[in-house]
A and B are shown apart, each in its own frame.
Chain A
């Protein structure tokens, strides 16, 4: 199987339960089906920084889909994750969108607290994930079936701050889920698209900042082409080159030292010694 091409910069993975929910996002974000991915329908944009997987309903499917995507993009710990779906609420208006401030479930003992983002202009709410559809609408919380499984799984491979959930109210006490017509799903998502897009942009921005922290330092390629470093040496080289870059030394280390007369050990030593002589310029 050919792996989809994710970018090494900021990324966001969207996990959604149903294809009907996903259609408006696929259209708005110009995502294309990745035909090589068979286990779950996967859609990506052409820059490889947004992916959307349709997991199917419920905790088990959601967990399986997140694990699947995580496996394919394991070299991007800076990727952000967003679960978007529908939920019931005792009193909220149909079509209103909430972001999760706390996620609890009937099947997990631990609650999950996403780090709350500033200036979203969206109301926050606790999400209660249940294993089966329920006629109950507990007061003040959004009831769904995936959020808890999503968060508990994703937190194994992403920082808590990069995991978020958005829920759109599809049913309430007055209009219970038994009356819900799934054909109206795309409309619910369409009407919230501007806020969803802003949320995704914000996550991408955050993920980008994280990705930049781990970008390979300048001259790394040049040097690793010249010598083959062991894993420990490679780690040391990256650290030293980062110092080199941070201290704003403009020239390449290869032009600063006569590299032809040095082996890789001597080169690393020379580089470190040189860096140690440089006083901090504030």
Chain B
């Protein structure tokens, strides 16, 4: 799967480096001074790199925990995120990471202890419950077999039951969660779409059925489940496809296990959109329905409202009102 690992010189003897090498047994191990030698250099081509990404093991030294952008949150007033990794195993055509970095390599920050420390510091400074999001710049669980991220962070989350932590994923790599007693303050939030959308746009990601099965296993184990319909994709027959899928979820996941639901139609910052659309000029998603609105590229306001209203109404038939949240960057 990953045949090349770049390792920052200073991390060559780090126990996590050794563990990852043992797990992956890569063909090539290449020493580097700093990850910036490899990652996000000028003249790199995301699309070509995505065909065979390498793993970079690096250390992140500052800005380890950051406030989320305005309007991003589930239930608490204050929200933070931290990114132990940049980039993703999957290849969703709408993914903003494609426009964010020119590199598709997986950049893993192995200094988990520093993240833990900074999260603890942030908690100390707050006198109210806050939410910490993971999976903002990657999928939280997709590379769990390699990183052991969830496995290593669950004890931290367990020490702070008054604060909320979200693992955002499309992955079915849930073994480490099933091997742990469920934590009520950790939401395992699944990004969901019907198979029609998955097949067309969420390349290499598990099918809707696989995600539902993983959600059910986790729900049965007691983990709170998040449903993330973000992004909703407009297409011919979207009503039929989404409503069939919503019914499938309803008949699989008990409402009581659902912690929260968020709904958001596809939106891109305009500059990022230009980069992504240039990477994939023959991509259907970018050929239909998206318009520049202020600083964002999105569906028209009416179309967004129609899509959101449709999803909200359908899901609202069996999910309590207070569980719904909207995570949307501002459009004009």
User: Which residues 108-133 of A have a CB within 8 angstroms of B?
Assistant: 111, 113, 115-118, 124, 126
Distance A282 CA – B28 CA, assembled complex (angstroms): 39
Q: Which residue of A lies closest to B6 (CB)?
A: A113
Given known A101-B28, A101-B30, A247-B287, contact A161–B48 (CB-CB < 8 A): yes
A279 touches which of B3, B199, B288 (Cβ 8 Å) = B288
Q: Which residue of B lies closest to A239 (CB)?
A: B281
What would 28 A/B residue contacts be, using CB atoms closer than 8 Å? A101-B4, A113-B30, A117-B52, A126-B30, A158-B43, A159-B44, A160-B45, A161-B45, A161-B49, A162-B45, A206-B48, A206-B51, A209-B48, A213-B47, A214-B281, A242-B281, A242-B282, A242-B287, A243-B287, A246-B286, A247-B284, A279-B288, A280-B236, A280-B287, A280-B289, A282-B196, A282-B199, A282-B236
Given known A279-B289, A282-B196, contact A113–B284 (CB-CB < 8 A): no
User: Is there contact, CB below 8 Å, between A160 and B284?
Assistant: no
User: Which residues 151-166 of A have a CB within 8 angstroms of B?
Assistant: 155-156, 158-162
CB of A9 within 8 Å of the partner chain: no
Distance A275 CA – B289 CA, assembled complex (angstroms): 8
CB of B152 within 8 Å of the partner chain: no
Given known A111-B37, A245-B282, contact A159–B236 (CB-CB < 8 A): no
B239 to chain A, nearest CB (A): 12
Give 1 or 0 for each of B198-230: 1 = CB within 8 Å of chain A CB: 011100000000000000000000000000000
Give 1 or 0 for each of B1-32: 1 = CB within 8 Å of chain A CB: 00110100000000000000000000110101
User: Is there contact, CB below 8 Å, between B28 and A246?
Assistant: no
- Chain B residues near A1 (CB-CB < 8 A): none
User: Is there contact, CB below 8 Å, between B233 and A113?
Assistant: no
CB of A276 within 8 Å of the partner chain: yes
B48 touches which of A124, A210, A242, A245 (Cβ 8 Å) = A210
CB of B38 within 8 Å of the partner chain: yes
User: Is there contact, CB below 8 Å, between B289 and A282?
Assistant: no
A275 touches which of B52, B280, B288 (Cβ 8 Å) = B288
Distance A7 CA – B284 CA, assembled complex (angstroms): 28
Count of interface residues, chain A, beta-carbon cutoff 8 Å:
34
Distance A248 CA – B102 CA, assembled complex (angstroms): 29
- Chain A residues near B54 (CB-CB < 8 A): 115-116
User: Is there contact, CB below 8 Å, between B52 and A113?
Assistant: no
User: Is there contact, CB below 8 Å, between A113 and B288?
Assistant: no
Q: Which residue of B lies closest to A240 (CB)?
A: B287
User: Is there contact, CB below 8 Å, between B233 and A280?
Assistant: yes
Given known A101-B30, A116-B4, A161-B48, contact A246–B282 (CB-CB < 8 A): yes
Distance A126 CA – B31 CA, assembled complex (angstroms): 10
Distance A154 CA – B286 CA, assembled complex (angstroms): 32
Q: Which residue of B lies closest to A115 (CB)?
A: B49
Q: 10 shortest A-B CB distances, which residue pairs?
A: A161-B48, A159-B45, A243-B287, A246-B287, A280-B288, A282-B200, A280-B235, A118-B52, A282-B235, A116-B4
- Chain B residues near A242 (CB-CB < 8 A): 281-282, 287
User: Which residues 305-326 of B have a CB within 8 angstroms of A?
Assistant: none
User: Is there contact, CB below 8 Å, between A281 and B49?
Assistant: no
- Chain B residues near A279 (CB-CB < 8 A): 234-236, 288-289
Given known A116-B3, A155-B43, A279-B235, contact A246–B48 (CB-CB < 8 A): no
CB of B160 within 8 Å of the partner chain: no
Q: Which residue of A lies closest to B300 (CB)?
A: A276
User: Is there contact, CB below 8 Å, between A280 and B3?
Assistant: no
- Chain B residues near A278 (CB-CB < 8 A): 288
B237 to chain A, nearest CB (A): 8
Distance A102 CA – B27 CA, assembled complex (angstroms): 15
Distance A138 CA – B52 CA, assembled complex (angstroms): 30
CB of B250 within 8 Å of the partner chain: no
